[in-house]
């Protein structure tokens, strides 16, 4: 589980170039370079960062109002990412040059369907794989299709075993346990940065770290109304209250750094993998504390 090594992780709290895939990818490349220049060997970006989380109303009414939501969806699809594709190639090349692992949330398009997807890149620039959000909440269901069992994954990387979930997936009890059983050491939690989930983001992330004896890297989106072009038809229909809440938490459920609200910032922390073993001497959720003689768990792969 642990070989005594440590590394620096970076949680990016930033705004995309709104609904502009090209501009947002360029920003991603700059931020990877900046974080790596500050010693980061793992750089994590927020949920649906390319080209933006769909903050606007996604299921408005009928007639003229419905047309606005459909127009916004078309623009989101137009600026979404194909996996693999030219955009993933550029991000992978940036990871290779920086010699850092990169984890990023994107809107992924496959034909006419969109997925809320986490992409994982190794230090050699290889696209290691993806996680598609298993279950969207509320009006997100109007935007993204669901992932499958093959999206419950943990990746071996140069810095350790990394896995991740989105937002309210942190309340899917069996999905969480599945990640623990796969040997997750560093968990990336990607969030849209909504103000109304600040408390939820905090307690869900701390509980995840404590329950799984893992480090949790929270990367939450941040965006303000001034960043939205006046030409966006749903600007006046949206409450632009997305302050972020990024931070890095140790396996005892304690913040090492953060949470940070109300600004763009890259947060850094030293990850010492031996802390996982220290936590597991008290509670090992998939070992001596799991009572496999009583309970059984199966992933339908």
| DSSP class of 81 | B
Least Cα distance to 41 among 237, 219, 270, 266 occurs for 270
In the block, residue with structure tokens 């949920």 = 47
Helix ranges (H only) for 106-184 are 173-181
Q: Is the peptide bond before 186 cis (omega within 30 degrees of 0)?
A: no
Task: Give me 31's structure tokens.
Answer: 């931020």
The catalytically annotated residue of 167, 169, 176, 280 is 167
Count CA atoms closer than 13 A to 107's CA, side-chain side.
29
Helix ranges (H only) for the chain are 21-37, 63-78, 86-98, 173-181, 198-212, 274-280
3-state SS, residue 94: helix
**Beta-bridge partner residues of 223:** 242
C-alpha distances in angstroms, 182 versus 187, 230, 263, 298? 12, 46, 35, 12
Determine how many CB atoms are found less than 10 A away from the CB of residue 180: 22
Residue 77 CB-density burial (10 A; 0-12 exposed, 13-18 middle, 19+ buried): middle
| DSSP class of 40 | -
The catalytically annotated residue of 21, 27, 47, 184 is 47
Tell me if 290 sits within 8 A of 265, measured CB to CB. Answer: no
Identify whether 142 is a catalytic site residue.
no
Q: Which residues contact 200 (CB under 8 A, 6 or more apart)?
A: 168
Question: Which DSSP helix (H) or strand (E) runs through 127?
Answer: strand 127-132
The catalytically annotated residue of 21, 133, 161, 280 is 133
- Residues carrying an active site annotation: 47, 133, 167
């Amino acid at each position: 589980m642990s070989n005594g090594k440590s590394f620096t992780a970076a949680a990016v709290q930033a705004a995309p170039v709104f609904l502009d895939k090209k501009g947002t990818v360029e920003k991603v490349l700059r931020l990877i370079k900046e974080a790596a220049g500050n010693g980061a060997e793992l750089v994590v970006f927020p949920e649906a960062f390319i080209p933006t989380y769909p903050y606007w109303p996604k299921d408005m009414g009928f007639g003229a109002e419905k047309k606005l939501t459909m127009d916004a969806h078309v623009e989101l699809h137009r600026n979404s990412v194909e996996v693999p594709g030219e955009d993933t190639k550029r991000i992978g090349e940036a990871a290779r040059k920086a010699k850092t692992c990169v984890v990023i949330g994107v809107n992924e398009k496959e034909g006419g369907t969109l997925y809320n997807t986490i992409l994982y890149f190794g230090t050699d620039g290889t696209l290691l794989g993806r996680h598609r959000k298993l279950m969207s909440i509320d009006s997100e269901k109007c935007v993204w299709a669901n992932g499958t069992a093959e999206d419950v994954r943990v990746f071996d990387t140069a810095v350790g075993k990394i896995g991740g979930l989105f937002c309210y997936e942190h309340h899917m009890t069996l999905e969480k346990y599945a990640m623990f059983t796969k040997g997750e050491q560093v968990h990336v939690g990607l969030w849209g940065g909504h103000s109304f989930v600040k408390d939820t983001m905090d307690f869900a992330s701390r509980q995840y770290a404590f329950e799984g004896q893992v480090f949790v890297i929270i990367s939450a989106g941040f965006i303000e109304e001034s960043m939205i072009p006046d030409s966006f038809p749903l600007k006046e229909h949206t409450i632009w209250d997305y302050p972020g809440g990024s931070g890095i938490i140790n396996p005892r459920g304690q913040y090492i750094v953060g949470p940070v609200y109300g600004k763009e910032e890259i947060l850094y922390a030293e990850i010492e993998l031996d802390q996982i073993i220290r936590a597991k001497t008290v509670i090992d959720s998939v070992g001596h504390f799991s009572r496999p003689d009583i309970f059984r768990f199966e992933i339908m792969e």
